[in-house]
């Protein structure tokens, strides 16, 4: 084998590529700096960065150690969102690897961390698209108690409730597994549920909150 095939320049900086994968054209330093993933997720990162007025500082891929990566979005508040493929199951154990999906459109599992010392975080969403990732970050934080929201689309809770698009309400409960929205208008069929629409992880409607509920105050 000719040495010329092995020694090749990094496509970013021109330094020697040392990867044993001869098809890989990126040097070690550029690999761990996240440039490859930054290119891979460029449109999503651009959408996240465009939220700067809403409190985003910056979105970037970060090597978290041992070959693991996440797409971090640091907020002006000091908190940050992080997207990976990994999520916590009902027993609180991590499933799949803490690495990035192949496709910018996901599936993304999203955690929210108060600051750099927060190791636990809150599991905000699992298996969501890039679009929902952006929407979650647009809120700037996890759903907050008392937040006034409007449904962009109809929300159906068969058989007792159909909240039309445009319905408004306030976030009445936020837990790891569910969010409730108490509607402003009284809905007789929701009397048993304190006039609340439930977004529940067990019912696979938790992420729907982030898709449909637009913050109005």
Closer to Zn ion by CB, 15 or 97: give it. 15
The answer to whether 136 and 210 have CB atoms below 8 angstroms apart is yes
Query: Applying CB under 5 A, which part among 27-35, 41-49, 66-74, 79-87 lies near Zn ion?
Result: 27-35
Contacts of 37 (CB under 8 A, 6+ apart): 61, 69, 71, 100
Q: Does 178 bind Zn ion (CB under 5 A)?
A: no
Distance in Å, CB of 171 to Zn ion, minimum = 46
Q: Does 27 bind Zn ion (CB under 5 A)?
A: yes
Rg (CA), the chain: 21
Q: What's the rounded Cα separation, in Å, for the pair 205 and 207? A: 6
**Strands of 178-183's sheet in order across:** 196-200, 178-183, 168-174, 148-151, 213-215
Q: What 3-state DSSP class applies to 5?
A: helix
Among the listed residues 18, 43, 23, 108, the one whose alpha carbon sits nearest the alpha carbon of residue 69: 108
Q: Does 149 bind Zn ion (CB under 5 A)?
A: no
Alpha helices in the chain (DSSP H): 3-6, 28-33, 35-40, 42-49, 130-138, 206-212
Residues 5-24 that bind Zn ion (CB under 5 A): 10, 12-13, 15
- CA-based angle 64:28:46, to the nearest 5? 60
Closer to Zn ion by CB, 27 or 136: give it. 27
- CA-based angle 131:135:139, to the nearest 5? 170
Distance in Å, CB of 104 to Zn ion, minimum = 22
Closer to Zn ion by CB, 30 or 38: give it. 30
Query: Applying CB under 5 A, which part among 4-12, 66-74, 98-106, 173-181 lies near Zn ion?
Result: 4-12
Q: Does 30 bind Zn ion (CB under 5 A)?
A: yes
Q: Does 86 bind Zn ion (CB under 5 A)?
A: no
Size of the site for Zn ion (CB under 5 A): 6
Closer to Zn ion by CB, 13 or 191: give it. 13
Query: Applying CB under 5 A, which part among 26-34, 46-54, 65-73, 130-138 lies near Zn ion?
Result: 26-34
Closer to Zn ion by CB, 16 or 77: give it. 16
Binding site for Zn ion (CB under 5 A): 10, 12-13, 15, 27, 30
């Amino acid at each position: 084998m000719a040495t010329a095939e092995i020694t090749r320049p990094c496509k970013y900086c021109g330094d020697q590529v040392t990867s044993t994968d001869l098809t890989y054209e990126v040097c070690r330093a550029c690999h761990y700096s996240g440039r490859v993933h930054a290119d891979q997720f460029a449109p999503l990162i651009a959408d996240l960065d465009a939220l700067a007025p809403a409190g985003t500082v910056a979105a970037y891929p970060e090597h978290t150690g041992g070959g693991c990566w996440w797409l971090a979005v640091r907020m002006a508040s000091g908190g940050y969102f992080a997207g990976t493929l990994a999520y916590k199951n009902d027993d609180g154990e991590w499933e799949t690897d803490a690495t990035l999906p192949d496709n910018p459109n996901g599936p993304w599992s999203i955690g929210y961390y108060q600051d750099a010392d927060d190791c636990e975080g809150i599991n905000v969403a699992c298996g969501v698209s890039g679009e929902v990732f952006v929407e979650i970050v647009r809120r700037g934080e996890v759903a907050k108690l008392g937040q006034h929201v409007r449904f962009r689309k109809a929300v159906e809770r068969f058989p007792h409730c159909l909240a039309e698009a445009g319905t408004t309400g306030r976030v009445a409960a936020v837990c790891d597994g569910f969010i409730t929205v108490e509607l402003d208008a009284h809905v007789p069929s929701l009397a048993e549920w304190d006039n609340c629409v439930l977004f529940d992880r067990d019912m696979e409607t938790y992420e729907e909150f982030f898709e449909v509920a637009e913050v109005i105050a």
